[in-house]
Structure 1
Amino acid sequence: MPDIFLSYRRRDSASATGRLADRLVEHFGPERVFHDHASILAGEDFAAAIRRAINLSTVVLAVIGPDWLEARDEHGTRRLDDPNDFVRLEIADALEAGLPVLPVLVEGAAMPTAAQLPAVLADFARCQAVELSESRWRYDSDRLIALLQSRYAIESEQPPLLSDPDEKLVLSWPGRLALDLLELATHPTRLIGRRQTGRAIDHLRAFAFLVVCLALGNTLLLLGLDRYLTLRESGDFVGFQLFAGVLELFVVTLVSVALTVAWRLVGSRVEFRQITLIMAFIGGGAVLGSAVGWLVWSLGLMLSDPTLIGRATELLAGRTAGAPVTLSERAVLVGNMVQAAAQGPARAAMVFATLVWAGTLLWTAIAWGSFRLSFGASRLRAAGATLLCAGLLGAVLALSVWLAG
């Protein structure tokens, strides 16, 4: 999925836009630039492809030529006044989504004022424009590329361009990582969708994110169980991490296989690696968020009774003398212990932990939409794939229980 979306009118600036697209592709690569002439496949729904590309982009470049503002249809109506005009829809959707919109003036065009634009595009008039002049095209396009790299952290395998001596902010990998994590937390579908480039580096990053989240999540789990120091001293910490990590990776892989089958059953041609990339981000974020909530919840209980977590763990495991035989009876006793300890600071911590879990659940639900956006599927097809996946996983679980019993 692209980082840079090019919005333009074909009768106004097709040549200049094509030239700009070639320059951007030369520096950033074709997978990072959306130019409808080259980016929409034959037979693909044009409007749906445009909307999906905007939702997944980092920045929208609105190319403005001499006739951009006053372009009219066959009836003499100004195109910008038509609610169904594609250029109007593209910019309005980007502004509504909170995406940065960068006007690019070509062929001597001037930036329109708010009074000249429809009300829905009024904010567009306040966007700072850049100019690409014919006499210094290479210099101006280099400055634009440097701006895209420095301000919006768009990656390129080419060395950074610093056409402007004052433009020295080119983010190193820690800076890009921080921005990616921030966007993953706030706009997960946008970042995950842009990682669907097919490049090996994007899959390696997703896998690394998953492994780090699992390791952190397992560590937080041990801290909440008051078992971290015990395992470190006994030397079993690494063994626990390996065992838990392999088990969690198996679960993520199993869900990915079920999702691949489900999406293919609903008629979408998806690859297993596309599914695993999305699942790596969703699984890693969900595990880490759940572990943070668990740590807050358990620390709150420890403030009330430092031995509670340990006693509850022993009771659930059936290692307490005189403990009930059935797991459900032991769980009831643990629940009574927790309820009795949930006073004062412990109650506040448990409320905060509940909010963390609710936020993690909401984030996971939003991030799950990455499947629909990345594959360009309808909501009905996405819902069908999710239900089929749940059915397949349920069948596997039932079969496992039957074989174990």
Structure 2
Amino acid sequence: MKDRVFISYRRADTGPTAARLRDALEEHFPGQIFLDIENIAAGQDFVTVIENNLSIAAVLVVVIGRQWLEGSTSGTKLGDANDYVTLELLSAARLNIPLLPVVVDGAAMPHASFLPSGLASVLRSNAIEIRHSSFRRDCEPLTEYLYARLGVAPPTPLERFVEAIGAKLSFGMNRFKFDDRTRGFHAIISVIVALGATLATIDSWLPAASAERELLLLDTYDAVSLHILGVYTGFIGKNSRKHRKLAVTALAVTLTSLLALLTKLTMTPPGQLVF
């Protein structure tokens, strides 16, 4: 599955900015951002790693600074057979990977007439401009594009609220972030909880053992707690790309069961409730 974001850049041109961009995107897409200086270990073949990561890339983000056309410190420039940026661009074109130019540090998108033959048609996409003074705000259009391209639902207000609480309780550990895997876990939990909530509702409708005991406070508390947990996990799980239908079904069952439980509570005479 192609779910990697590959960042192409020149270290001598935009190295610090590319690293900062990688950190910003990693917050939204943990484990899906590839940057050579971060992801290529010592002793690994550079070209092989580049090719392998491009084969699973959903998009190639091309970071363009003022010196991007002029080349690297090794003496190669755009269009040279041994230029790594050229290799990345041509490989992406061969693999039909969409390219998204990102111009930084006051640079401008190079005119097609300045691009080597074979690359002019590669960089046709509208560029996104990112400035140091408004970095976070300028990254928002890029983040929105990547969410759509990767088929991942952006965080909902509920998820952002939970993430904010998790950030305060992390105590220096890795911050809790919602991704498709986490949402998948919530989807599965919502199904389990939905079954438990349904059983609790059915139990509340069964004839009581005695006239004075129709529903105990503990039974009500447990049943309502199950329904709240089911609604919470269902609303988060429904954003899972793989388990969306499962979570939505579980959420519908949970809400229907909650309605039945509330109906039972309203129908029960106050004198038959033991608190």
TM-score (norm 2): 0.54
> Residue 99 of structure 1: CA displacement?
0.9
Matched residue, 1:16 = 17
| 8 Å contact kept, 2:147–2:154 | no
Matched residue, 2:65 = 65
| 8 Å contact kept, 2:78–2:116 | yes
**What whole-Å deviation, never above 9, does each CA across 1:192-242 have from its counterpart, x for those lacking one?**
xxxxx9x68789x9xxxxxxxxxxxxxxxxxxxxxxxxxxxxxxxxxxxxx
Pairing partner for 1:153 from 150, 155, 158: 150
Give the Cα separation in 2 of the matches to 1:125 and 1:157: 27
Letter in 2 for 1:61: V
Q: Decide whether aligned partners of structure 1 residues 94 and 73 sit closer, same or farther in structure 2, where only a CA change above 3 A counts.
A: same
Q: Does 1:131 align with 2:129?
A: yes
Letter in 2 for 1:92: L
> Residue 2 of structure 1: CA displacement?
5.1
Matched residue, 1:53 = 53
Q: Does 1:36 align with 2:36?
A: yes
Matched residue, 2:194 = none
Q: Decide whether aligned partners of structure 1 residues 86 and 144 sit closer, same or farther in structure 2, where only a CA change above 3 A counts.
A: same
Segments of structure 2 that go 5 or more residues without pairing to the other structure are 158-178, 188-275
| 8 Å contact kept, 1:27–1:156 | no
Letter in 2 for 1:27: H
Matched residue, 1:105 = 103
**Paired residue secondary structure (2:119):** helix
Letter in 1 for 2:152: E
| 8 Å contact kept, 2:54–2:91 | yes
> Residue 155 of structure 1: CA displacement?
2.5
Aligned-residue Cα RMSD (Å) equals 2.9
Q: Decide whether aligned partners of structure 1 residues 159 and 144 sit closer, same or farther in structure 2, where only a CA change above 3 A counts.
A: farther
| 8 Å contact kept, 1:61–1:104 | yes
Q: Decide whether aligned partners of structure 1 residues 200 and 90 sit closer, same or farther in structure 2, where only a CA change above 3 A counts.
A: same
**Paired residue secondary structure (1:88):** helix
Letter in 2 for 1:106: V
**Paired residue secondary structure (1:141):** helix
Matched residue, 1:93 = 91
Give the Cα separation in 2 of the matches to 1:2 and 1:40: 18
Instruction: Report 1:6-405 matches (<5 A).
Output: 6-29=7-30, 31-71=31-71, 79-150=77-148, 152-155=149-152, 158-159=155-156
Give the Cα separation in 2 of the matches to 1:72 and 1:37: 15
Give the Cα separation in 1 of the matches to 2:132 and 2:143: 17
Letter in 1 for 2:25: L
> Residue 6 of structure 1: CA displacement?
0.2
| 8 Å contact kept, 1:112–1:125 | no
Q: Following superposition, which runs of at least 4 residues in structure 1 exceed 6 angstroms of deviation? A: 200-203
**What whole-Å deviation, never above 9, does each CA across 1:236-260 have from its counterpart, x for those lacking one?**
xxxxxxxxxxxxxxxxxxxxxxxxx
Letter in 1 for 2:44: E
Give the Cα separation in 2 of the matches to 1:80 and 1:72: 9
Give the Cα separation in 2 of the matches to 1:149 and 1:58: 11
**What whole-Å deviation, never above 9, does each CA across 1:19-72 have from its counterpart, x for those lacking one?**
10000001111x110111111233222110101111111000000011001125
Give the Cα separation in 1 of the matches to 2:72 and 2:54: 24
Give the Cα separation in 1 of the matches to 2:8 and 2:184: 26
> Residue 124 of structure 1: CA displacement?
2.5
Letter in 2 for 1:51: E
**Paired residue secondary structure (2:78):** helix
Residues matched between the structures, number: 165
Which has a greater percent of helix?
Answer: 1
Give the Cα separation in 2 of the matches to 1:7 and 1:157: 24
**Paired residue secondary structure (2:133):** coil
Which has a greater percent of strand?
Answer: 2
Segments of structure 1 that go 5 or more residues without pairing to the other structure are 161-196, 206-405
Calculate percent identity across the aligned residue pairs. 37
Letter in 2 for 1:14: G
Give the Cα separation in 2 of the matches to 1:72 and 1:11: 6
| 8 Å contact kept, 2:128–2:141 | no
Q: Decide whether aligned partners of structure 1 residues 53 and 202 sit closer, same or farther in structure 2, where only a CA change above 3 A counts.
A: farther
Letter in 1 for 2:133: S
Give the Cα separation in 1 of the matches to 2:153 and 2:14: 26
Give the Cα separation in 1 of the matches to 2:141 and 2:115: 28
